[in-house]
Amino acid sequence: MDKIVVRGGRRLRGAVQISGSKNAALPIMAAALLGDNPSRLTNVPRVTDITTMADILTSLGARVDRPSPHEVVIDPGGLGNSTAPYELVRRMRASICVLGPLLGALGRARISLPGGCAIGNRPIDLHLKGMKQLGAAVNLSHGFVVADGKRMRGTDVFLGGRFGSSVLATANVLMAAVKTKGVTRIEGAACEPEVVDVAQFLRKMGARIEGMGSPSLVVEGVKSLRGTAYELIPDRIEAGTYMIAAAITGGNLALKGCRADHLRAVIETLEEAGVCIHGGARMIRVSGGGRRRVVDVTTHPYPGFPTDLQAQLMALMTISPGISVITEKVFAERFMHVPELNRMAACISLEGSSAIVKGVRALSGAPVMASDLRASAALILAGLVARGETVVDRVYHIDRGYEDIVGKLRNVGAEIERAG
């Protein structure tokens, strides 16, 4: 099993090209099943989750080609199988996003209950609730979600949940609604840029959607959609991770191909932490050479501070003088990286849904184990400044969502390598 070895102490300098958004790519790939002809997606990241989604679409009868490393062509012409099997779906939770397109395209779906990162309870109840409100008959049988959408009609759907809105549930219901007869009003919709990207793709296919970027979406069903060409938005979580990499090493990085307007909460938080940030139309320059300051942060759905950057920010706070409080409001159990950071001489204690971080003078390299995708990134960031060598195990997590993180970091001065 591969490991990533990091030797700390180098300031990062140079430029990093930000890849396309994984969290937009996955539902958009699924949405391509709704077209009458092929769709061509560009700026697609080279990560294993994309490969998994391609395998799922292929198992359903679609044809998926990759004519170039960052391009995917999806031909739904052979779509006929409505069962997404356990051996594929178990690899990632986002597999559930084929539910809506299958109901829209075939009127039926049989999806294995999904897997993914082990970051606490991540139910799919909002997905099922939304489909039921549209009129689908939904049952759980032998580990599968079995849905019949032949009686779906446009209606009012409310997607507010215990922990706020859901990005994937919003995308799923949206994809189910675009070919459902009548008008569907989705309240409590997620406002994340990734949801907007899905809606923009569907509109380019011919869907009628209003209210994008707001918690209220209005969808007028159409009979058919056409395949189209579409460029994905950049990955704001990858961009935020490299922003924190510059900050934690006291380095200076230019992040190319990203969007500052998708990162306002992150930029504001890092500026409060003493990081100097200048944003342009398609580039952000980050300088971490100033005096570090602690910040208190609570994660929220967009436009709040993203849960997917909570672990990375915590790594920065471990070496910032003072005491910071990081509160997790999206996934309350998303603190599995805390004991691993403490193995590196961090001083973090947990109190309910909050982590109390007391900054230390220096971290110490150690063997650590990644528990999920974003925890992997946090441990690598900590290793960039730790004294000595840090070995991160179970790095298949990082491959799910970061394109060539070792190569990108090495190109800007990090001493990092993969080892078998």
Residues known to be catalytic: 117
The rounded distance, in Å, linking the Cα atoms of 365 and 385 is: 9
Which SS3 state, helix, strand or coil, does residue 207 take?
coil
Whether cis (ω within 30° of 0) applies to the bond prior to 114 is no
Do 341 and 335 meet the contact criterion of CB atoms below 8 Å apart?
no
- Exposed, middle or buried: residue 152 (CB in 10 Å: 0-12, 13-18, 19+)? buried
Which SS3 state, helix, strand or coil, does residue 41 take?
strand
The rounded distance, in Å, linking the Cα atoms of 254 and 287 is: 9
Do 321 and 292 meet the contact criterion of CB atoms below 8 Å apart?
yes
Tokens of 302: 């967009």
Where do runs of H (alpha helix) occur along 39-94?
48-59, 86-89
